[in-house]
Structure 1
């Protein structure tokens, strides 16, 4: 991997950490919606939100590790599975999964263009 491709991969850490930071703020706010709209909080709903929030904080802190991206994506899967516990959490899961898909697509495009540029001798 060229130095420029490594830099492009490292550059993804900022937007990914920013997205996870937004999730750390928004996911606990879902508890308010669950309480008012879904008829109250249950221990399962609270536990799911706490596990997701703590997991996202850990993912932010460890995103530079090789397993940081898989951890962040695994948390998005847990958000989607949150639909089982709460439709509100499921809707957030869909929104953030689409956000992550967009970011991963952009990352792929940047890496592909860096590789093409390196092959041309740039």
Structure 2
């Protein structure tokens, strides 16, 4: 087994929290249909399609997160979720909440990578 550079190990370690966040979204996003039905006056084909596309996209993102395009795909889905405000305020609010979650996770990832680089420079 080959050893990974500290920065690569930190990038690889980000897969777990990212997959956990996407898994949570896969459970929560379809539940927004209940809110849309009861609070927003019913479901429309556009609302259902938006939720189905997001949910399937998140499943694909979990399966492909190890690819170089996995993180951009997950972030793109967050943007789509925030843009869900066009279709449903409930989905837009969920999108904003999860955008904040992802922003926090990306900030923590950045900090870990930055500190790994500092430690590597210090030890060199």
Q: TM-score range by the shorter chain?
A: over 0.9
Match of 1:87 in 2: 89
Whole-angstrom distance in 1 between the partners of 2:81 and 2:42:
19
Q: TM-score, normalised by structure 1?
A: 0.98
What are the equivalent positions in structure 2 for 1:16-95 lying under 5 Å apart? 16-95=18-97
Q: TM-score, normalised by structure 2?
A: 0.96
Match of 1:109 in 2: 111
Whole-angstrom distance in 1 between the partners of 2:94 and 2:62:
19
Shift, 1:118, TM fit = 0.2
Whole-angstrom distance in 1 between the partners of 2:25 and 2:43:
20
Whole-angstrom distance in 1 between the partners of 2:122 and 2:25:
39
Match of 1:6 in 2: 8
Task: Deviation per CA, 1:23-57: give whole Å up to 9, x if none.
Answer: 00000000000000000000000000000000000
**Which consecutive unaligned segments of at least 5 residues does structure 2 have?**
none
Whole-angstrom distance in 2 between the partners of 1:57 and 1:28:
13
Whole-angstrom distance in 2 between the partners of 1:80 and 1:7:
30
How many residue pairs match? The answer is 121
